[in-house]
Structure 1
Amino acid sequence: MKFWQNRLAKLFEDHRRQLVSIVTRRISDRETAVELVQDVYARLMKAGDRGTEEENTKILYASVRNAVIDYHRSNAGRANVMNGILPVQLWQNESSSPQDHAESRQALGALDQALLELTPKAREMFLLHRIEGISNAKLARKYGISVSAVEKQLARTMRHCQERLAAYRDPE
């Protein structure tokens, strides 16, 4: 295993800059690109040697491409969840009826209650992300966890809030 660790470390060292550059171009976020490339390195370290240096290099690049695809899929799913987390009917407008206003207040109350049901860390992370616009990478650094862990926590929080707000959403 020591041989594989040295071999992969050398391979990674030789290609890291180019891999980060490729990922950065595809996702437009250098911090996340660095995280993705590092995650690929960790996964390959566990997977073991695949043969020649050429084969290992191909696997390294293919793994990074797959990580970018997974990242985009994951973001698309999160975007759909995020779009549903605060339904339009939660926000009142000037022409809303008293009934609409009351329903809005009830929905906001349900959202408040849903947020109170979360752990303080999950609630804070969600509010920092949704209200303050703090990136997943910055949240990961703040809490000392991986970007992936932040994404998973935000997804769990959003699902929780959606479930609590289901009664207030427009049936479509």
Structure 2
Amino acid sequence: MSHCYIEFVPKDEKSLRRTSELFAMLKVAKDADEALDDSRFVDYFTETERAYFWSPSTEEQREWNNEWFSTPIEIRHSPKMLTPQWHLESMLDAFSNGDYQLIAIQDKNGKYQLAFNPHGYPYGGTGCMVAFLECFGHSIVGIEDGTGYEKYTPQTKFWKSKQKNRWQFWR
């Protein structure tokens, strides 16, 4: 049986092993229809892996909310609108609520696939899976999301706060 998948090249063997271990934990919880409780999974990520995710201060969150709600809807829901990086908790929530079955991380001739089986369309998208793999340092090659394989183009521009951190007072 053919599945949908995110194709990637692993950063290294250690990162691939950690990714596979956490994926197996997420799969067990999702298969049992358990909530992917943040406290259960967040501690598994290293400081470097957690740094991939957006963790805004109260002021940064306020600034983002102001920008989001002041932007016209036709722009807000288009590729023109820059968005922040994923929150770790949002990624876990998206896995929990996605309408798909997680299958496995599979070796396919030196490239790997995070395989999943959508139950229907729309199923929630692949964004959380991409964020999951990227936080471990893996390079995404392409995505087969049920509509055909496409080469992956990484998002390189994210919304950034205009606030300066206290330690950046000289800038």
Larger-gyration structure (1/2): 1
Select the structure with the greater relative contact order (CA < 8 A; seq sep ≥ 6): 2
Q: Output the TM-score relative to the length of structure 2.
A: 0.24
Q: Higher strand fraction: Structure 1 or Structure 2?
A: 2
